[in-house]
Structure 1
Amino acid sequence: MIRVNVFVEGQTEETFVRELLVPYFSNVEIYLTPILAQTSPGHKGGIVSYGKVKHQLGRLCRQDSKAVVTTLIDYYGLPADFPGQTNPEQDAEKRAVAMEQALADDIQQPNFIPNLVLHEFEALLFCEPAKFADWLDDEAPIAQLQAIKAQFASPELINNSPQTAPSKRILALVPEYRKTLHGPFIAADIGLDAIRAQCPHFNRWIERLLALGH
């Protein structure tokens, strides 16, 4: 039996792991457990400083060295002290890969697999904007969401400025969108296979976890 502890930054990602990834991986006898980031005593969710992340990841790796520890953290909005932030690479995916490596180098644990979501969780929802229809009273924004998607080779490449990050684009068109409520369920409607097919960076993480079973 292979166990994987997935360090997640918020309740949305926690639900995403539990509802989509856990059943997907249990079919191949890899058992995932979401671990919600702790920001302060009694408070969970959010990445406010790298120091807190490093402490929690290191502790998870050492507490159970026979389990793999991985992350589900948004690349967009990482704190300034996160490893690799000074990398001059301009290509978002290459920069994310370099930051993942910098994170692995800093954690220095053999059972650790770093992963950053390009650019944030909401990018995955652009894989099939039509799935928003089941959660909206007005379907008018669907065409606009699809038009945004059509501008990019992959949903992961929808850019990451404060005005144009995937979540900001969704909220501008769908003000009633609530990440923790709607996000995981829309992702579940889309399905993991469709997300993997359109999001190569995300898919490489999934493939790396699946390879643990071989």
Structure 2
Amino acid sequence: MFWAEDRRLLPRDSWTRLVTKRVVIVVEGQTEEAFVNEVLQPHLGYDAVSLTPIVVHTSRSADGHAHRGGGSWQHYQNHLRRLLQQPHWDLVTTMIDFYGYPDDAPWCSCTSLHDQPTCAESRETGMRDAFAYNPRFLPFISLHEFETLIIAAGSQKSSILGDADAPAKFRHMLNSVEGNAEALNNGPLTAPSKRVLAALPDYRKVRDGVAVLEGDLGPALDHAPRFHDWVDLLAGAGA
């Protein structure tokens, strides 16, 4: 089928590509980069939204090699400013861990609050304020780190990385927080990554993180409400 536009005949798939919204996601590392490409993009589909993950370079060594993830807010701020100055991006967003949030970033001191979802929202508000509430900027801070999604998704599997006992361990974790994986403590000994390693000693984030989440993102969405809201906003960007 063809669509007429400006006296030209374009194949319909070409017309669809012309209206695809381009979204860039600033992420912390290669696992998150692979997650966007291999899990999140297929979940959202390819017609309405095109996702591009970019790993933030936070510093450089003496030989000029860039270091990825972590670092100070200044590196994130400079990176985000450059992206917002590029008009071809319809939306600029982030996927930054609450646990690894830069110490000098807006609202970092709110870690002392017991209500960490409110703290995450305050940090996102501070980030928006840093860019004068640019309507193309949608900051997102993950509670509390990538492994939150591993626990949420893994709880619904029959086995994880060949371990048939791990899903029950993850379900027990979720039951302790009424099914909300984002409520799992972010303390040094009880962070989601520590809990995953306790249940799956052979788990390695870069090697295994995306593999656990591939196929169906539904369980992760069901047990991570802030993450779910963010994914819905990304889907809406292409509406």
Q: TM-score, normalised by structure 2?
A: 0.82
- Shift of residue 30, structure 1, vs aligned partner: 0.8
CA distance in 1, matches of 2:176, 2:43: 30
CA distance in 1, matches of 2:158, 2:207: 12
Letter in 2 for 1:59: R
CA distance in 2, matches of 1:165, 1:101: 24
Structure 2, unaligned runs of 5 or more: 1-19
The aligned length equals 212
Please identify the structure whose Cα radius of gyration is greater: 2
**Equivalent residues in 2 for 1:33-112 (5 A)?**
33-41=52-60, 42-64=65-87, 66-87=89-110, 89-108=113-132, 109-112=134-137
Q: Who is 1:16 aligned against? A: 35
**Equivalent residues in 2 for 1:143-158 (5 A)?**
143-153=168-178, 154-158=180-184
Higher RCO (C-alpha under 8 Å, 6+ residues apart): 1
Q: Who is 1:29 aligned against? A: 48
* Deviating more after overlay: 94-103 vs 140-149: 140-149
User: Identity of paired residues, percent?
Assistant: 35
CA distance in 1, matches of 2:219, 2:155: 12
> For the Cα contact (< 8 Å) 2:59–2:71, is it kept in 1?
no
Structure 1, unaligned runs of 5 or more: none
Letter in 1 for 2:121: V
Letter in 2 for 1:208: L
Correspondent of 1:131 among 153, 157, 160: 157
Aligned alpha-carbon RMSD (Å): 1.9
Letter in 1 for 2:102: P
**Equivalent residues in 2 for 1:180-195 (5 A)?**
180-189=206-215, 191-195=216-220
Correspondent of 2:146 among 99, 108, 121: 121
Letter in 2 for 1:34: P
> For the Cα contact (< 8 Å) 1:131–1:186, is it kept in 2?
no
Residue 147 to residue 176, structure 1, CA distance change in 2 (3 Å)? same
- Shift of residue 65, structure 1, vs aligned partner: 5.3
- Shift of residue 134, structure 1, vs aligned partner: 4.2
> For the Cα contact (< 8 Å) 2:140–2:230, is it kept in 1?
yes
